[in-house]
Structure 1
Amino acid sequence: MNLPKLIIRLPDWVASLLALWPPCLPDHQDQMRLAIELSAKNAETGIDGPFGAAVFDDRGRLVSAGVNMVISGGSSILHAEMIAIALAQKKVGRFDLSGGGQRRYHLFSSTEPCAMCLGAIPWSGLSRLFCGARDEDARAIGFDEGAKPSDWATALNQRGVQVERDLLRWKAVAVLNRYASSGGKIYNPVFPSE
């Protein structure tokens, strides 16, 4: 049997975009700006969804970036957060980003995590999660974010992951709305077409 391979390769434009940014961004708003810029550029390609994410260490150094690649990669697991987490783990050489407390890693996501990404965050070893747009903002343009408990942020906090919501929310929501108004594909919609 010839087994398929799953290879995650970010679009070429991601490296070009990252080259325009300094390798260290100590300000959380700047870190979120990068995640939102990744989501905006990804939406502009017209291929994949309007979602971006980045992992930074606690000194503000960029560790990895991710963009939604569900359509181009042909896999429902290729969400921006999942890619950013996987690439961060690959870069640091371990599956547990907590590293025994030696280094703390933070995930910046242009939109709050869906049910799948929410499940991956505590297992990844991330210490903080920063979100731009809210779950309801993604749902408002038609995306199905899955079944999430209403107290998901509290649950993450109880598991050692500090959550900060609404960081540059207005900017992240503008990307979602532009994507929807430009006719961007809403895969796995809340209301599937008949």
Structure 2
Amino acid sequence: MDMAYFATGYSVNLPDWIGEELHGVPDIIPDRAERMALVHRLADRNWREGNGGPFAALVAESDTGRIVSVGVNVVLGSGISSAHAEVTALGTAQARVGSWDLGAEGLSPHELVVNWRPCVQCYGATMWSGVRTLIVAGSGPELEEISTFDEGPMVADWAEQFEARGIEVVQDVLRDEALAVFRAYRAAVDSGRVVVYNARSGDDAAE
């Protein structure tokens, strides 16, 4: 077998404009609503820059509000379908602390802040990351109805499953602001200005 034929690795990087958006942002943001407001700002710029969908996330130390990492959806920018906001935020946080387990002994408890309930992929990624808290702007059907994204077959008791594993779930933090970002994105979709990537339904290709 000729190994020259196969890729032996890949990388996912955040867009350069992240540094511009974080310039002047304090290392510590003690208020959860303010942390969510930063997530919304990143999510809105992300789709406008063409990196991916209107999604962003950050990881913070729960006790202090210190920001450990941020992430945005870079599926279009990277060409990697798993490069969702939660995955990039969790991965860069784990790289920063030097552990795959954000709940490891000796580390401050960490939380993931994201602008909607995770999709089926990011549900597992969050559950196995070691975070002790998940903070979401919302969890209802509005995301899929507005954006046309397929978030996958999420279990009805998704929040209870987190709680059963010692992960606190906090919902409805700046929910209306999240929906405003999704509506702006949908208007761009309807005008043909952005690409909606999606899972296939049966034999039908995604938009």
The one of 91, 102, 110 equivalent to 2:96 is 91
**Corresponding residue for 2:29?**
25
**Corresponding residue for 1:147?**
153
Computed over aligned residues only, the root mean square deviation of the Cα atoms, in angstroms, reads 1.6
Q: What CA distance in whole angstroms lies between the structure 1 residues aligned with 2:99 and 2:18?
A: 23
**Corresponding residue for 2:169?**
163
**Corresponding residue for 1:178?**
184
Percent same amino acid among aligned pairs?
Answer: 36
Q: Secondary structure at the residue paired with 1:65?
A: strand
**Corresponding residue for 1:69?**
74
Q: Secondary structure at the residue paired with 1:182?
A: helix
Q: Deviation at 1:137?
A: 2.0
Map 1:28-107 → 2, pairs under 5 A: 28-58=32-62, 59-100=64-105, 102-107=107-112
TM-score, normalization by structure 2: 0.88
Q: What CA distance in whole angstroms lies between the structure 1 residues aligned with 2:30 and 2:200?
A: 37
Q: What CA distance in whole angstroms lies between the structure 2 residues aligned with 1:190 and 1:75?
A: 16
CA contact (8 A) 2:50 2:76 kept: no
Q: Deviation at 1:133?
A: 3.5
Q: Deviation at 1:189?
A: 5.4
Partner AA of 1:132 in structure 2 = A
Q: Deviation at 1:134?
A: 2.6
Is 115-124 or 1-10 further displaced after alignment?
A: 1-10
Q: How many pairs does the alignment contain?
A: 194
TM-score, normalization by structure 1: 0.94
**Corresponding residue for 2:133?**
128
Higher relative contact order, chain-length normalized (CA < 8 Å, sep 6+): 1
Q: What CA distance in whole angstroms lies between the structure 2 residues aligned with 1:15 and 1:77?
A: 22
